[in-house]
Structures are given as C-alpha cells and as structure tokens.
C-alpha cells in the first residue's frame, strides 16, 4: 500500500511539473483586469496583450480608462474598456454580462489609505473592504460558473504584503487585504480538480507611481514625505513592469502564490516564525510616527507638489508617466 501511495504521489508530481512547464496558453483568451486603467493593472494588461490575450480593463475614472485603452490599443492590442466600480455588485454583474466569456480574471483594483488609528473611522474600514475584499469576491463569483462549466480558467488576486503583515498606519487597508488573502487561498483549495487555478499575488513595495493616488490622513505632509520615497526608489521596490511580467508568468504556470520582492518575502517569513517579535518591532515603528491630524482623506497629488518634484522621486515620476497615473 505504501509503495502504491508513493507511486501515485510521484505520478501526480510529475504530471504537475509537465503542466507547469507547458503553461496556460493565453493566445486568444479573454482576460479581465480590474483597476486596469493605471498603475500595476495597466502594466498587467500590457503583458497580457503581449502574450496574445484579448484584454478588458475596468476602472471608475472614465477619462483615464479611455486614455489607458488608447495607449494599450496603440501596441496593436485587442483591448476594451468598461467603466465599473467593483465595490458595486450590480455594476460588476452588468460588466461580466456585457463581456461574456472570460478565461482569465485579474482582481487588481485597490487603493492605499494611510493614517493613524486616531483618524480612522468605521466608514474607512467599510470603504477599504468594499473595494479590496468585495471588489475581489463580486467579480470572482460572477465568472466562476462559466469557468467551472468549461473546466478551465485562471484567477489572480492581487493582495499585498499588508495582507500577511499588518503594517502601522495602514490598518483599514491591511484588514481588507488580509480578508482578500484568506478568500484567495481558500478559493484555490475549493476549486482543486475543477480546472480553475487561483494565484494569490502578494506584492511588496512597487514602483507604480501609486503614491499620488494614495489617500492620507493625520499629519498628511509628513506621512506623504515619508511614504513616497519608500515606494519610489529601486532599492526598496520592484518596477511595475517587472512585477506585471512575474504575475502573468505565475498565472500561466498556475502558481498558488507569488510574493513579490525579497523584502516582502523576508517580512512574511519572519512574521510567520516570530509574530510576537514582529509586532513588538512594528509597535516601535508606530510609536515613532506622528499621531493625530486631519480626519478627511486627501490624495497624494493634492498634498504638496514640491515633494513630487524631489530628486528622490525621479524613478517615481518615471513610473507615473509610464503607467498612466494621475
């Protein structure tokens, strides 16, 4: 019996290895990327087009969405843009019905919210969950019946290292990302053997220019001046284009998880091995950051243009221009 089990296990492992090497052929497949009008989503859409996929992008800003469509179409891409707020179940179901067949779903839509707990309201948690948890659940449940019916499909859920390690001053964001990670990991297990593969993408800091779209509370100028260099320098980040290439490669292979950047990998491992120590260290970080301040969220681009012009943000400005950011 033991030999039979070992042989069966070896056979399954060999079949999995062959399947991964062959990869999922994206040519002619229809891929929907939520939050595809800018930043990482825009980069992922471009990589999918390069693989021969027919791409649909969605977002809330109609003007930016149309600009993204035009930029992607200029690469000889088969691309369609649909305005949709993924926090609305009705809008998501309308969009899925309009698109029809979807072979690949990339749940990428999100927003970063920075500020101390003293400035965070219940409504902030509700908004973050609406976008980054329900905005993952609604599209997924809408496409699952057709994918499982065909016995084939790919789903990638872009979460965050903030869904593995709860970083100070990002509590409402972290909570939503933790929920998304749990949903994504559990979904993969439930779909085992049904032909639909789910990849949980866990990015660390990326150079996508997203700091201008992040929402800040508290002592906004101070937090913005601390946050932006960390998210814009090559030493602490991965470029949006490189991240997109890795994500599309993971989708093709059907990987269960992709953690982007060595820093994020290290943080996840240390937190898993020594959570109490990690929380004590992060507690010291939180105590050193400025408390209180304004309670209304302000986007980064509206805080102080002099910070945006800093030499420290040279790579950030390049990413903004390259990835259709505000």
Is position 173 annotated as part of the catalytic site? yes
CA distance 100 to 106: 16
Closest CA to 208 of 172, 238, 245, 167: 238
Residues 6+ apart with CB under 8 A from 154: 24, 103, 104, 105, 196, 197, 199, 251, 254
Report CA torsion sign: 125, 260, 51, 209: positive
CA distance 107 to 176: 14
CB 229 within 8 A of CB 205: no
Side-by-side strand order, sheet with 294-299: 113-114, 215-218, 294-299
CA distance 53 to 30: 6
**Residue holding tokens 């809330």?**
60
Q: How far is CA 314 from CA 219, 227, 228, 303, in A?
A: 24, 15, 11, 18
**Among the options 24, 173, 211, 224, which is catalytic?**
173
For 1, the 3-state DSSP assignment is coil
CA distance 239 to 206: 6
Which string of DSSP letters, residue by residue, matches 267-296? HHHHHHH-HHHHHHHHHHHHHHSPP--EEE
Catalytic positions: 173
């Amino acid at each position: 019996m033991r030999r039979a089990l070992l042989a069966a296990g070896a056979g399954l492992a060999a079949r999995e290895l062959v399947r991964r090497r062959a990869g999922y052929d994206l040519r002619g497949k229809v891929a929907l990327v939520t939050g595809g009008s800018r930043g990482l989503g825009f980069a992922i859409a471009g990589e999918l087009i390069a693989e021969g996929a027919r791409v649909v992008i969605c977002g809330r800003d109609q003007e930016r969405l149309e600009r993204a469509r035009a930029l992607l179409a200029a690469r000889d891409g088969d691309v369609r843009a649909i305005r949709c707020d993924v926090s609305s179940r009705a809008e998501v179901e309308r969009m899925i019905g309009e698109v029809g067949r979807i072979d690949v779903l990339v749940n990428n839509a999100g927003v970063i919210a920075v500020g101390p707990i003293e400035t965070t309201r219940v409504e902030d948690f509700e908004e973050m969950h609406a976008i980054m948890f329900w905005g993952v659940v609604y599209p997924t449940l809408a496409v699952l019946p057709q994918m499982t019916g065909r016995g084939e499909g790919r789903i990638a859920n872009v979460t965050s290292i903030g869904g593995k390690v709860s970083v100070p001053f990002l509590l409402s964001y972290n909570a939503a990302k933790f929920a998304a990670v749990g949903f994504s990991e559990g979904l993969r297990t439930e779909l085992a053997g049904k032909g639909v593969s789910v990849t949980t993408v866990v990015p660390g800091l990326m150079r996508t220019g997203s700091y201008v779209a992040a929402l800040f509370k508290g002592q906004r100028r101070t937090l913005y001046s601390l946050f932006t260099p960390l998210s814009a320098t090559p030493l602490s980040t991965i470029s949006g284009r490189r991240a997109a290439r890795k994500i599309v490669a993971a989708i093709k292979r059907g990987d269960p998880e992709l953690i982007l950047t060595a820093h994020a990998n290290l943080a996840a491992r240390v937190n898993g091995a020594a959570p109490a120590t990690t929380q004590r260290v992060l507690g010291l970080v939180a105590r050193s950051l400025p408390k209180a301040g304004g309670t209304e969220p302000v986007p980064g681009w509206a805080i102080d243009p002099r910070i945006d012009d800093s030499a420290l943000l040279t790579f950030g400005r390049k990413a903004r221009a390259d990835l259709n950011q505000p």
